[in-house]
């Protein structure tokens, strides 16, 4: 049986891309993920994630990574919300890999509703298990979270080389807010900033008032 785990990284930041990753394994491989230390990427150091990445990809039958830039997110959000964007991208990975079972986290507060939406979009009528905190329950999702997080961390590192230190990229980070404020003040909002985010809209309003 082939199991596809899907997870994302970078849903909330105001700066940088969102990454969605899917990793497919033969069912008998999944216990080995636990034995090598695979867990939710947020519970691992960057060095541990990097160390595990190659092992995960070597054990996987296939992997799928979608890096959605800040500019793409802004464009997509003109017609759909973030939940819909994620659902469509996840469904595309399912259609491409045709797994026997899918494990993924629910970005909707209603787990069942999100699972049903994934079924509808992917055309898969069964075998989709969508739950909150899936990284803690399904090793394949934990593996996908490591792939997604490591990919995003590398992308952020490259963006810092080009744009300077903008902090973590999260709206709550004072350094990030200062970076966004300066960009808005100079009227040179770089494409790495998600202009559709409430943080940016709010800061624009403050500058205009």
Instruction: Provide the pLDDT for residue 203.
Output: 67
Instruction: Provide the pLDDT for residue 58.
Output: 97
Is this prediction's pTM over 0.95? no
Q: Which helix (H) or strand (E) holds 124?
A: none
Helix residue ranges, H only, 36-81: 46-59, 70-76
Domains and CATH numbers, the chain: 2-161 (3.30.420.10), 163-208 (1.10.10.460)
Q: Supply the DSSP symbol for 43.
A: G
Instruction: Provide the pLDDT for residue 206.
Output: 46
Closest CA to 187 of 208, 159, 157: 208
| pLDDT per residue as tens, the chain (209 positions) | 999 999 999 999 999 999 999 999 999 999 999 999 999 999 999 999 999 999 999 999 999 999 999 999 999 999 999 999 999 999 999 999 999 999 999 999 999 999 999 999 999 878 999 999 999 999 999 999 999 999 999 999 999 999 999 999 999 999 999 999 999 888 878 999 999 998 887 766 545 43
Neighbours of 1 (CB within 10 A): 11
């Amino acid at each position: 049986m082939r199991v596809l785990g899907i997870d994302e990284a970078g849903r909330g930041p105001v700066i940088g891309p969102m990454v969605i990753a899917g990793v497919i394994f033969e069912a008998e491989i999944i216990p080995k993920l636990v034995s090598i230390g695979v867990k939710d990427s947020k519970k691992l150091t960057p060095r541990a994630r990097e160390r595990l990445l190659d092992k995960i990809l070597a054990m996987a039958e296939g992997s799928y990574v979608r890096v959605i830039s800040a500019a793409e997110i802004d464009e997509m959000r003109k017609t759909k919300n973030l939940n819909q964007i994620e659902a469509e991208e996840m469904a595309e990975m399912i259609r491409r890999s045709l797994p026997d079972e899918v494990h993924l986290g629910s970005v909707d507060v209603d787990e069942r509703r999100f699972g049903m939406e994934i079924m509808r979009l992917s055309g898969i009528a069964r075998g989709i298990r969508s739950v909150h905190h899936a990284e803690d329950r399904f090793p394949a999702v934990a593996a996908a979270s490591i792939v997604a997080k490591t990919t995003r961390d590398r992308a952020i590192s490259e963006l810092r080389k080009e744009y300077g230190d903008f902090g973590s990229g999260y709206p709550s980070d004072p350094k990030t807010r200062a970076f966004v404020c300066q960009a808005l003040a100079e009227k040179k909002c770089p494409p790495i900033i998600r202009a559709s985010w409430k943080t940016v809209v709010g800061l624009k309003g403050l500058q205009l008032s």
